Amino acid sequence: MAGLAASGSNPDVDLLYDINGLAKDSPHWFDRVMEFVGEYGLLVAMVLLVVWCWWSLRRRGGADVASSMAAVVWAPLAAALAVLVNVPIRGFVERPRPFRAHQGLEVLVSGKNDYSFVSDHATITMALGVGLFVANRKLGLVGIGLALLEGFCRVYMGVHYPTDVVGGFALGTAVALLLSPVAMALLTPLLSAVGRSSLGGWLLRSRSGAALDAVIPGARSEASGAAERDLAA
């Protein structure tokens, strides 16, 4: 695999130079912004998106809250599992970082001494985005968009080839989607049981939602159905 990066005529390498070349032509402050966004910012944004999705589902409540929350819980679990799967992949492929094989790259972050294929950042963000899509289509699309931006940033920073990013997207998507049915089958009854406890009730339902159910029986389920129709639209 490392040999794929050996030739400058390789489209993967050409695209690397094209995207990373933008860093050379950009102001210093913009490169620093891209460094922060690509290394930390988008990961934090994805975590906040997951929390936002959880909070929205908690406020909405409804009879199906356990299955919806199971999808939210699966998103970070899928990301963690995808990173674990990537460990043997990196060790098997042993692809050096692009700046070790090619001269003239603008490397925005130092200390990247491990292997390049596949990108952990691309894997994590795409797994989170696809996992969120299972729970909430609108927020999931936002998450997938952030994952695509993360992939661009990793190449812009000079620490990954484009195919490292594409491989990360594929790995994150595969884990989040292919294992989703099994994860939902296991997590939904677990969260249903947790929801019957006092702490679990707080995690799955807001007080306003519980109060609405108590005052107007069936109102919360109707609101839940309307929210689902909005999401489907």
* Residue tagged 């099994």 (tokens): 182
* pLDDT for residue 204 is more than 80: no
Exposure string for 192-219, b = 16+ CB within 10 A, e = fewer: bebbeeeebeeebbbeebeebbeeeeee
* Residue tagged 């944004």 (tokens): 45
Task: Supply the pLDDT for residue 140.
Answer: 92
Mean pLDDT for 125-144 is: 93
Two structure tokens written together for 215 = 């005052």
Whole-angstrom Cα distance, residue 24 to residue 6? 22
- If pLDDT is split at 50, 70 and 90, which confidence band does 205 have? low
Three-state DSSP class for residue 102: coil
* pLDDT for residue 4 is more than 80: no
Q: Are 109 and 91 in contact (CB under 8 A)?
A: no
Could you give the percent of the chain with pLDDT greater than 70?
Answer: 78
Computed over every residue of the chain, the mean pLDDT equals 82
Task: Supply the pLDDT for residue 120.
Answer: 94
Question: Poorest-confidence range of 37-41, 64-68, 132-136, 158-162?
Answer: 64-68
pLDDT tens-place string over residues 214-226: 333 343 444 445 4
Task: Supply the pLDDT for residue 134.
Answer: 87
Mean pLDDT for 178-196 is: 85
Which pTM value belongs to this model?
0.80
